A and B are shown apart, each in its own frame.
Chain A
């Protein structure tokens, strides 16, 4: 278990990077919708992006707290964090659906845009793994 502090730092770095990219992407979506449909659409897109950002931050925090524990404890914490994420997603989207009923496309687009960050993170990890292997 010598590698644990390094793995903890890697997880913290990954979460911080994800949150940064998600914030940038949702700000970009907000800008695009501001140009297309004005302030209400921009706010709706930012609300969708904010939901994605909040859910990632909360799940990341909960998962990070289980670092260094046994594998079964990590999995248990992970499943609990994901369950919490789903419940919060339902609550937040109900609230957003009521507030931005007429602007639901920007909300979903704002949320979907934040998911690009996960694809980018996977690409980044794949690239760094290739570098480690000397390819």
Chain B
């Protein structure tokens, strides 16, 4: 019985460790991708506004809409990371297999 619970604890620890790495990778990927995207977007906006200041307002509307698409995947990634961190569905089958 003790061996079984040790095995369960080891399996859960393994899943949690791998989940922590996955969550870290998700955050890194979303941060890098969004940072590059926003940097390009902001840079191009400033360039456009410097060339034609009268179009700054119109460019801002387009920047706002593109930013919504740009951070969409990042936020979905963050949502999955939140799920893995706080309600990990990968632990369920292990606990079921051990009758927990």
Contacts and interface: CB of A to CB of B under 8 A. Distances in A.
Contacts, number: 127
Interface string A5-35: 0111011001100100000000000000000
B13 interface: no
A46 interface: no
A90 B23 CA distance: 13
A72 B79 contact: no
A93 interface: yes
Interface residues of A, number: 48
Interface of A: 1-4, 6-8, 10-11, 14-15, 18, 55-56, 59-60, 63, 66-68, 71-72, 74-75, 78-79, 82, 85-86, 89-90, 93-94, 96-98, 101, 104, 107-108, 111-112, 115, 118-119, 121-122, 125
B83 interface: yes
B64 A75 contact: no
Which of B45, B58, B66: most chain A CB closer than 10 A? B58
Interface in B50-100: 50, 53-58, 60-69, 71-72, 74-76, 78-80, 82-83, 85-87, 89
Contacts of A98: 86-87
B75 A86 contact: yes
A4 to B, nearest CB: 5
Contact of A10 (B54, B58, B79, B86): B58
B69 A118 contact: yes
Interface of B: 34, 38, 42, 45-46, 49-50, 53-58, 60-69, 71-72, 74-76, 78-80, 82-83, 85-87, 89
B68 A118 contact: yes
Main secondary structure of the interface of B (DSSP, over half): helix
A15 B61 CA distance: 9
Nearest to A55: B75
A119 B69 contact: yes
Nearest to A124: B65
A1 B53 contact: yes
B54 A78 contact: no
